[in-house]
Structure 1
Amino acid sequence: MKRFACLLATLCCLAFPLHAKDFLRAKDKQIVDAQGQPVILRGMGLGGWMLQEGYMLEVPQLGTQQVILARIAELIGEDKAQAWHQAWLDNHTTKADIDAMARWGFNSIRLPMHYALYTLPVDQEPVAGEQTWREEGFRRTDDLLRWAKANDLYVILDLHAGPGGQGNDINIADRDPSKPSLWEDRRHQDKMVALWRKLAERYKDEPYIAAYDIINEPNWGFADRADTNGCKETGNAPLRELLVRTTQAIREVDPRHIVIIEGNCWGNNYQGVLDAGLWDDNLVLSFHKYWSVTTRESIADWLALRDKHNVPIWLGETGENSNDWFSRTVALAEGNGMGWAWWPLKKIRYNNPLQIIPNPGYDKLLAYWRGEGAKPSAAEAEKALMQFASHDVNYANNVQHPDVIDALFRAPHSDQSVPFKRHVIAARGGRIAAIDFDMGRNGVAYRDDTPANHHISDGGERVVWNPAMAYRNDGVDLARAADGSLQVADLRPGEWLQYTIEVERGGRYRLHLATRGEGRASLQVNGEALPAQAIGEVSASFELLPGRNTLRVVAQAGAFDLLTLQLRR
């Protein structure tokens, strides 16, 4: 009996964690756990789930979610449009997505919330000044929290679309510009404050909720309406007032959770917001970073705020760039003691961990919306839209991009490349597709003259680092051939690609490069350089060791495309 009791005690220890998840808190310049140990949040934002933005669905011309839904209703009717939206909410983010995030290495999730899933808009309230609560948003938040807890991940609640809309960038908040904004109608602000109090009441005892990010990317000119997005604002008094008021409402019911605040100008302009000091001892300042250089100087303003106010800072939203930029931005953030949340998990385009591949009917619908194709029938549109929302968007049918995950977790901290695909060279030789070069940062796995988009910093045009916008997100030019296949395009002097290969049988091999164009290239085999040769004549002979070897193709002159590398004994 004593032995059984010991066994039962052991099983209980295995079945239940010895310690509950810690409530996180702000301590001086760090986010810490219950033991006071620093915590680096490595997160992903679930953009496109509760709040759709046109660019994620390849309809930037439609912009806001409400316009997208209206255009869908024009095709298939209001009831079916609402059914489509419910299918989207059911399938865009599921437990499978959260399980994958945990496998990849994320420890947190940023949930971009649309207020209208939680409460009615002010102009739809049956009784003016009161709040009608909708179970839809709370239920889906509870679902996400359960999935996160099953994977030991924190959740950060982010009010992404506030009542009335918090800025002139209307897509990010689903704002109707014909109606008063959050800043122009006190009822919207009252609703926002009430919503956060309601959320705090619901989750006040939940340590897996890491923080409340109380309003995403305010962008509004308070003193000068011509300052469209509030980037020149020096006072920001209405913003501070709302942040303070919301924090106080949260603290009436929840003294423990971190409150995250964001400045004007898409979260980055804190002028005036902190002049009277911090109003709470558990605040974190968030900033957002897009399309800028990745030097320490690029975040100097926020580091200065951290030092001045002795408060943690958090890179609360970033992404939409190349893998090289991703790696350098993660290294920049973590090297300066701050966590990050990427954006987004999935969309139709390729530069995220998951890619949605739309069905042909949806592509035809996009052509119609662009004015480039015929209007589909209601039946055709419904079939395409429901397949998109019920099938295409689901994790099981998404394309996974391991190069993006590598860029976020391994490459920021490594000066070594790793294979994108396993290249096994048999005894008689083998063929390697040129597009399957190694993974790693620019200068480690490859070198390209335009590895990322820095147009915010340099004032230039947006750079497309991969013109094909397909297959992988590295800063290497890819292009489609006439048959639809992909190839490395326009290799210029000084650019290079590295390939890690596994050789079954060591010995002497010849390498032939399949190319288009004119120029000269050289090879490096296991770090040893071979003489440059004219393109079309590169068929060098060299020794390969059994097992792992590296090959590097270096452009020396001209400009050429690279299709394949063929190794023969």
Structure 2
Amino acid sequence: MLVRSMTLALGLSLSMAFPVAALAAPHLSVQGQEIVDPSGHPILLRGWNWGHWGKAQPSDAADNAAQGANVVRIPLRWWGWYEGRGVDSRDDNASTSAGIDPAHLKHLDEMIRWASAAKLWIVLFIDSDCGQNGTQDAQERKYCDPRGEYPKGHNFWTDKAARQKFIAVWRFIADRYRDTAYIGMFEPLPEPNPPGVPDDQIKAFYAEVMNAIREAAPGVPLLIGGRAYRAPAIRQVYDPQWKDVVYTGNLFLHAKRGANEASLDELRSRAKKVLDLRATHKVPVFVQQVGVRSGEDPSRWAVKAVLSHLVANRLGFAYWEYRAAGNPNEYGVIYQRGNEWVPKRDWIDTITPFFKQ
């Protein structure tokens, strides 16, 4: 009741910013190794990441649905250095929204509304570069630990108070959207990689956060992965008692000198770790980030091969990413050139047919 009271305590502009259904909306669920739709039928989720905060446009959801997508992965960035102002949503003074900047919350409402209206299943994740690690580079260290008090990194494992604030954020978010149509999965924290912390403590962190989410939004599946979301680390977080969990690992093709058979074989090897977990333990898996840099694959040979491999093995995925920053050689299929958004039509036309297979 505390979280719902917090929601009601918001001013009119926030408490009414996101209407919820009078009755709990149907959600996805987990049955054995399958993700199933509200009718109980297995569903393969395939679509896009809206990864860069503030880049998504009102028309994107309908456009994605028309392209054949049925899922979109949507972020909230909370506590981290994101190479620019206006991305970190952490605001400890925002007591009525559990430490989320109200403007960020309003924008998150908008993105979820767009996706829900287009009948795209939503994977909602809360990212925290400080919380997951806090030591990625010098700027990150300075931002996360301005006084230099945490030599092993200022993160959710070294700062219990920050951890509890993050859990409060999740309680608020889960409560806010639990009755929203097409909420598909909640993803507690991508790519956890705390230095010097044993793998079992990463799993324990997930257990604590997931318990809080379950209390606020019972029935919504949860998406987690191993250390840094490396595919071979997926086994580290498996727990046979978790019947509402989908497991994940990143599948980026790494080929700085250009995509080739060796880089593709390496990706297939990582994908096998995800498939092995599904086959061995009969649990569902979903690739929340797969992608190939455009500059490393000018003929688009590799991206076709990667997505063909996922489709052949019945792996759902969210492609990284839809709109991105201003570099046409990166992952985004729409990039920014000045004030103009430029679609890479050949890439869009290559990727989207795989959504329907």
Determine what percentage of the aligned residue pairs are the same residue: 23
Match 1:24 to one of 23, 28, 34: 28
How far did 1:313 drift?
Answer: 0.8
Letter aligned with residue 273 of structure 1: V
SS at match of 2:216: coil
* In structure 1, distance between residues paired with 2:356 and 2:120: 22
Q: 1:189 to 1:172 in 2, by over 3 A?
A: farther
How far did 1:183 drift?
Answer: 2.2
* In structure 2, distance between residues paired with 1:175 and 1:105: 43
Instruction: Report the equivalent of 2:91.
Output: 120
Instruction: Report the equivalent of 1:204.
Output: 178
Greater relative CO (CA pairs within 8 A, separation 6+): 2
Match 1:398 to one of 324, 335, 341: 341
Match 1:408 to one of 322, 347, 351: 351
Q: Map Cα deviations across residues 103-146 of structure 1 (whole Å, 9 max, x no partner).
A: 2222221112112555425xx789xxx95443223211211122
Tell me if structure 2 keeps the 8 A contact 1:112–1:160. Answer: yes
Whether 1:306 aligns to 2:281 is no
Letter aligned with residue 349 of structure 1: N
Q: 1:272 to 1:154 in 2, by over 3 A?
A: closer
Q: How does 1:467-546 map to 2 (within 5 A)?
A: none
Task: Count residues with an aligned counterpart.
Answer: 299
Q: 1:287 to 1:333 in 2, by over 3 A?
A: same
* In structure 1, distance between residues paired with 2:138 and 2:77: 12
Instruction: Please provide the CA RMSD for this pair.
Output: 3.0
Match 1:38 to one of 24, 36, 42: 42
* In structure 2, distance between residues paired with 1:411 and 1:349: 24
Match 2:160 to one of 186, 189, 207: 186
SS at match of 1:210: strand
* In structure 2, distance between residues paired with 1:412 and 1:144: 21
Tell me if structure 1 keeps the 8 A contact 2:47–2:355. Answer: no
Moved over 4 A (4+): 116-119, 170-175, 411-414
Q: Which has the larger radius of gyration?
A: 1
How far did 1:267 drift?
Answer: 4.3
Whether 1:152 aligns to 2:119 is yes
* In structure 2, distance between residues paired with 1:354 and 1:306: 33
Instruction: Report the equivalent of 1:243.
Output: 206
Which structure: greater helix fraction?
2
Match 2:290 to one of 318, 321, 330: 318
For structure 1, list consecutive stretches of 5 or more residues without a partner in the other structure.
Answer: 1-19, 50-88, 224-234, 359-391, 415-569
Whether 1:140 aligns to 2:107 is yes
Q: 1:190 to 1:26 in 2, by over 3 A?
A: same
How far did 1:413 drift?
Answer: 8.9
Which deviates more, 315-324 or 130-139?
130-139
Letter aligned with residue 332 of structure 2: N
**TM-score, scaled relative to structure 2:** 0.74
Tell me if structure 2 keeps the 8 A contact 1:170–1:176. Answer: no
* In structure 2, distance between residues paired with 1:301 and 1:176: 35
Q: Map Cα deviations across residues 81-119 of structure 1 (whole Å, 9 max, x no partner).
A: xxxxxxxx3xx2221232322222222211121125554
Whether 1:288 aligns to 2:250 is yes
How far did 1:27 drift?
Answer: 1.4
* In structure 1, distance between residues paired with 2:306 and 2:278: 18
Tell me if structure 2 keeps the 8 A contact 1:288–1:315. Answer: yes
